[in-house]
Structure 1
Amino acid sequence: MRQQFDADVAVIGYGPTGVIAALSLAQQGAQVLALERDRDIYPRARAVTVNDWTMRIFQNLGIGERVEKVIDPQRALRWVTYEGDEVMRVEHPPSALGAGSRCYNIYQPVMESELRSCAQEREDLITVRYGAEVTEIEQDDSGVTVTTTDTDTGEVRTYRTRYAIAADGGSSRQPDPAAPGHPAAR
């Protein structure tokens, strides 16, 4: 009996890591279902820099030039006291990866917005559900069942995918060690 899947991969969390995961999977032809609890981008910066490895990922996805327009190359890092005395200075050499600068300053909400705009252009392979809080994940031998609750209406939905990626960072739900299938329950 052939199983019906809603997507190849569920990406849980649609911040920069989730968006890059979705874009990378779509580049390989995978159907992606991104589930994001919040309806809007978090309005404050949590990350403030990316490095040349990250820029190479953007370049490999074909979005490097777009993202580069909303971030700034960082040539040095300098710490100064309130009195103006320099405590530390680190000069960044050019990237050895062909990415331009070694480090980039970012304002995460702006960069994240640009990443999401890039992903919208792949809506043939990436479907995003905003306001979908993941409340349960069950894995079996053939795939993953992800249960969500709509943050506005309380509507509960389930999705069936082959795989799931947790990209929701610090807000990730911790698995119940007593739950069947959890290594601690064995």
Structure 2
Amino acid sequence: MAISEALKKKAKKIWVSIVAPEMFRSREVGETNVYLPEQVLNKLITMTLSIITDDPKKQNMNVVLKVTSIRENKAITEMFGYSLVPSYLKRLNRMTKVRIEQSLQLKTKDGVDIIIKALALTKFDTKNSVMTAVRAKMKEFLITHVQNNNYNELMNMVVSLEFQKNMHKELKLIYPLSYVLVKTIKRVK
């Protein structure tokens, strides 16, 4: 949004607090400096999950928050996306042998279109037939669980690592895996 020169000269900037979604107990996660609070609307804010939850174990997870409304100089946000830090993925890849990935565009129970990318890492070299079976089971798991959950429920499960644990339980029946992760979740605009 363009600001007129007259407003820039006369008005002072104000601080607007950024409030996390309800799944993070609506706590304040930062501030931004703007001329008008409405300038913050529809902004995307990326931050690590460890900042929001005060859990250092989650420093390898990024969360994208989108400002949806302004109340009393507070920017109210909602979850817009989730991803793992690339350096973390690179480090995991060095420790494992085979990387099995699955990327799908799905619709949640409440009609939100998302792109979800899952990743499974093995300790040993595997045959292509085993990799295909793991990928097919991963696709089946993703389709059923994404379509049976609301967007907020899904994001809550992914952030709490419950989704990944359940997927790992399903996939380890086919082949022993060292890691099963959700690499990215993005809303389709």
Q: Scaled by the length of structure 2, what TM-score is found?
A: 0.23
Which structure has more RCO (C-alpha within 8 Å, separation ≥ 6)?
1
Q: Scaled by the length of structure 1, what TM-score is found?
A: 0.23
Structure (1 or 2) with the greater helix fraction: 2
